Amino acid sequence: MYLCLNPKFMKTKHKVLYGIFLVVFSFSCASTTTISSTTPGAEVYIGGEYKGTTPYRHSDYLPTGFGRKVTIKKEGYKPVETKIRKLGRVNPMAVYGILWGGLPVLWAGGYKRFYEYELVPENGGAAVRSDYLTFGESFSTSNRALPVYVGNSNGFYYVYAAGFLHALNTDLSLNHSVKLDKESGSIPIDGYFLGDDKRIVEFFPVDNSVKITTVDPSNKLSEYTIKDVRYIDEIFSEDYCYGYKRCDVTNNFICYSEKSITAFDADLNKLYSYQSEKKILESYLLADDRILSLELQSNNLFLCLREGGEESYYEIDTDKNYDSRSFRLNINEEVGKCHVSSLIGSTDSKKNFTPVGVRVLTYGLTDISLADSGNVMFNEDIKDCRRQYFINKGVVSDQENVFIQLEEQWIISSTESAAYVTGNIVVINTEKEGAPQQKISKYVASSIHQDKLSFQSQLKNGQLYYVFNTTVGSRQLVNQVVLDENLEMISWGLYDTYKEEKTIFHGLKGYEMEDGRYFYFHQYKTKLGAIISDF
């Protein structure tokens, strides 16, 4: 009795109880899951309480075996009544806690990484889905092999990666591989067919050169090297974009540095060269062999059209009320237009730039005449993003729409590692009334030596198709989002990229195939996987 009433003992008892509480609580980690629906934007109710719209990330501390009632509602669709239980996977921290002290056994189980529910229209009919990807098998290659799609022929899809030319069957399984001579330090940037020959284009950062390898049907090689090609770091273009652009119509191409542009025909003959007094940011070769460039001089921006040895400069009217950054040039020869886009904002005393909106200028390709211009300010939802890390990923357009795409990208570094982090995709349709804006969260990180976990987009029939990686818990998934021209979501699907191979794939890079579909790669260390889009 004395011990129980002794103040010192009481304090000790409280400390012990408090310690036990801390141990149990530390191992009773929250379990997180993503609740999605085949038609996104549906309301999610958990335990009768409204939580948000699909896809919705849910987290709680319920013990193993317990569950929550989930109701998913959307106007025009039958409501879904279901239950999620903490039996879907193992909580590793809780298991460690059990081994350590046996206390957190109640938290050993967790929710599945994600739940997807099909919403069926009230008046019947099939549910809207974004099931437009066909997955192939993964196969082994060299560590961190950056792949390029070469083309298809005789029933095979050809992929080049780390010195190997892989032939895939139509179901994307590996048929055979051919080893080619490969110098160290090269980065593949292009691949295509020229007649029956295969062409592979590689960049060498050590000496800023481009090597073009031609592989004939008997796998005999011939090589051609172009010196002094600059890596484009002033603009934020697609990953691994260098001073090299090929015209898909003629297979003629250009290589350029800050001050010069050289054009070559499909047989690798040099056609002509240009020197520029301005700084070349980005350049395109048009189907009629004209060259259009975006160039900078003394903080003034220009479009330059080069044709037949002649040069014509057109000064771009930037908005002097704002600081402009991250300039991009995008060409759409189908509609005869080009777009110059940029972030607009202000710079503080510490030279930190904070964007407040975007500016898009549209020019006709015939005479480089200004057809449209305007600024779009970010709405409140977009202002919640990490705007200081916005990267201008350029414009996609058709006859009716001009979509500018931004992405959050930053680097987290420590003494031991560094990682790219990409948070949100921001899309703005500058041609629609009110300039609708959409933010899409990605929750993705990757190691710095890997291709940035970016996104691929394609515009078809007024609909935007996005493909990107998402991390749900520690699991890598492929996300497919389809938006209409008003940036309302048509569908949002999650796909498990490694349920068969138990391999996480990092990196996405797409290449347009001859039939208009897109060929995507997933890669992690020595594993390479392929996907073909069916939209």
Structure confidence at residue 451 (pLDDT): 54
392, 406 in Cβ contact below 8 A?
yes
In angstroms, the CA 509 to CA 454 distance is 8
Structure confidence at residue 244 (pLDDT): 92
- Dihedrals phi, psi of 40, to nearest 5 degrees: -70, 170
Domains of the chain, first to last: 15-117 (2.60.40)
475, 496 in Cβ contact below 8 A?
yes
Where is 19: in which H helix or E strand?
helix 7-27
The pTM score is 0.81
* Residue 355: cis peptide before it, omega within 30 degrees of 0: no
Measured between alpha carbons, how far is residue 13 from residues 5, 17, 23, 469 in Å?
11, 6, 15, 50
Structure confidence at residue 335 (pLDDT): 92
Measured between alpha carbons, how far is residue 259 from residues 244, 273, 279 in Å?
14, 11, 6
- For tokens 């490969």, the residue is 182
Structure confidence at residue 99 (pLDDT): 43
Structure confidence at residue 262 (pLDDT): 94
Which amino acid does the sequence have at 48?
A: G
In angstroms, the CA 193 to CA 241 distance is 20
Q: Please, what's the b/e burial string for 126-156 (b: 16 or more CB within 10 A of its CB; e: otherwise)? A: eebbbebbebbebbebeebbbbbbbbbeeeb
Structure confidence at residue 103 (pLDDT): 47
Structure confidence at residue 9 (pLDDT): 41
Write the CB contacts of 284 (distance below 8 Å, at least 6 apart in sequence): 245, 291, 292, 293, 329, 331, 338
190 conformational bin, left if phi > 0, alpha if psi -120 to 50, beta if neither: beta
The 3-state secondary structure of 143-195 reads: CCCCEEEEEEECCEEEEEECCEEEEECCCCCEEEEEECCCCCCCEEEEEEEEC
Question: pLDDT 10s digit of each residue in the chain, 535 long?
Answer: 343 444 444 445 454 444 444 444 444 456 678 888 877 788 999 989 998 888 787 877 777 667 889 999 988 889 999 988 866 554 444 444 444 444 444 445 577 767 878 888 888 776 666 557 888 888 888 766 778 899 999 899 999 988 889 999 988 889 999 888 777 778 888 999 999 999 999 988 888 899 999 999 998 999 999 988 876 655 544 555 678 999 989 999 999 998 999 999 999 999 999 999 999 999 999 999 999 999 999 889 999 999 888 889 999 988 888 989 889 999 999 999 999 999 999 998 888 899 999 999 999 999 899 999 989 999 998 988 888 889 899 999 999 999 999 998 887 777 776 777 778 899 999 999 999 999 988 766 665 555 566 788 889 888 999 888 776 656 667 888 899 999 988 888 777 765 555 455 566 678 888 888 888 887 777 788 888 887 7
- Cα 472 vs. chain centroid, distance in angstroms? 16
Angle (CA) 327 333 334, round 5°: 125
In angstroms, the CA 532 to CA 483 distance is 19
